[in-house]
C-alpha cells in the first residue's frame, strides 16, 4: 500500500520520509483518541460548567486536523534553505505551514485557558494572547525567508515568547483561583518550559537546516503531545469542581425560556377592565 509521501509527492528536495509520515500518523491517532475522550467527558459535566472542556475540545480538534494534514504530506511549501549543509546548493526544504496555523490557534487557546483561572483582567489576557500570536507568526516569517534576515524575525520571536512566559507564570503565581492552586501554577510552569523548545527546535530545523524534516517532525511531535493533549488532560483534572462564579463567568448559562416554551409560558396580555353595568331601577 503506498504511503502518503508517495500519494502526495513533496515539492521540496528535503522532506519527511515514509517513517516520518508514520510518526505523524501516530501523533494524529493520539490527538483523535484524546479528543473523543474529552468530548465524552464534557457531556457528563453540568450545563454552565463546561468552559474549560469546550476550550480543550477546540484545541484538540485543531491539532487533530493539523496532524492529519501533515501526516498526509500536505499543508507545506518548498522554501530555499539558507544553509545547504552537505547538499549541493541551492536546496529546498519542506516547511509545514499547517503546523504554524495549529500553534497560532492552539497555543493561544491554552494561554486563554490558563489565564481564565488566574482572575487576570481582560486587558492582561488580551495582550498575552496577542503576544503569543506574535512569536508564532514571527517564526513563520523566519521559516519562509531564505536569507539571513530570518534570524531577525527569530530574535523578535524569542523576545515575545519570554514576555508570554513571564505573564503566564506571574499571573498564575499572583492569583490562581482554581481549586488545586499548586496544580495550576505547576501547569503554567510546565507549558512555558516546553514552549521554549519550539524556538530551540526551529533554530536547528527550519532556521539552520541542521536536522532533517523527519527529525524535526519527531521533535515537534513530542513537544506538541506534551503541551497540548497531555497538558489539556492535566489542566481539566486540576480544574474539576471549579466554582465558575469565583472566576466571574458562566459557561453556556441556560435561560429561563427557550423556543416553544417561551411562547407557551409568555405572560398573557393584560385584560381591559370593564365596569359592571348599572342595575336596573
| DSSP per-residue string spanning 43-76 | HTSPTT--HHHHHHHHHHHHHHHHHHHHHTT-SE
Name the CATH superfamily, with its identifier, for domain 4-247.
Answer: Rhodopsin 7-helix transmembrane proteins (1.20.1070.10)
Reported pTM: 0.84
Confirm if 135 and 118 have CB atoms less than 8 A apart: no
Which residue shows C-alpha cell 532556521?
207
Q: What dihedral do alpha carbons 21, 99, 27, 178 form, nearest 10°?
A: 170
3-state helix/strand/coil string of 210-249: CCCHHHHHHHHHHHHHHHHHHHHHHHHHHCCCCCHHHHCC
Say what the pLDDT of residue 172 is. Answer: 73
**Which grid cell sits at 249?**
463567568
Residues of the chain with pLDDT under 70: 1, 174-184, 241-281
Q: How many whole angstroms separate alpha carbon 184 and alpha carbon 234?
A: 9
Say what the pLDDT of residue 160 is. Answer: 96
Amino acid at each position: 500500500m503506498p504511503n502518503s509521501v508517495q500519494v502526495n509527492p513533496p515539492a521540496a528536495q528535503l522532506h519527511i520520509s515514509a517513517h516520518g509520515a508514520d510518526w505523524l500518523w501516530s501523533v494524529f491517532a493520539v490527538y483523535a483518541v484524546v479528543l473523543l475522550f474529552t468530548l465524552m467527558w464534557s457531556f457528563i459535566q453540568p450545563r454552565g460548567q463546561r468552559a474549560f472542556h469546550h476550550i480543550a475540545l477546540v484545541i484538540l480538534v485543531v491539532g487533530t486536523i493539523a496532524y492529519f494534514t501533515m501526516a498526509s504530506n500536505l499543508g507545506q511549501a518548498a522554501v530555499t534553505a539558507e544553509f545547504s549543509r552537505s547538499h549541493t546548493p541551492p536546496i529546498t526544504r519542506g516547511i509545514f505551514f499547517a503546523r504554524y496555523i495549529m500553534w497560532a490557534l492552539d497555543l493561544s487557546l491554552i494561554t486563554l485557558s490558563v489565564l481564565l483561572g488566574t482572575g487576570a483582567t481582560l486587558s492582561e489576557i488580551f495582550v498575552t494572547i496577542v503576544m503569543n500570536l506574535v512569536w508564532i507568526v514571527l517564526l513563520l516569517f523566519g521559516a519562509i525567508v531564505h536569507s539571513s534576515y530570518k534570524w531577525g524575525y527569530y530574535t523578535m520571536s524569542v523576545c515575545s515568547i519570554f514576555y508570554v512566559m513571564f505573564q503566564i507564570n506571574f499571573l498564575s503565581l499572583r492569583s490562581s483561583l482554581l481549586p488545586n492552586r499548586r496544580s495550576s501554577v505547576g501547569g503554567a510552569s510546565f507549558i512555558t518550559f516546553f514552549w521554549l523548545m519550539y524556538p530551540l527546535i526551529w533554530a536547528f530545523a527550519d532556521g539552520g537546516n541542521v536536522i532533517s524534516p523527519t527529525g524535526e517532525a519527531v521533535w515537534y511531535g513530542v513537544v506538541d503531545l506534551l503541551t497540548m493533549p497531555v497538558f489539556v488532560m492535566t489542566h481539566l483534572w486540576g480544574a474539576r469542581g471549579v466554582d465558575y462564579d469565583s472566576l466571574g463567568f458562566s459557561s453556556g448559562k441556560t435561560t429561563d425560556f427557550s423556543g416553544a416554551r417561551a411562547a407557551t409560558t409568555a405572560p398573557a396580555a393584560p385584560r381591559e377592565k370593564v365596569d359592571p353595568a348599572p342595575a336596573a331601577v
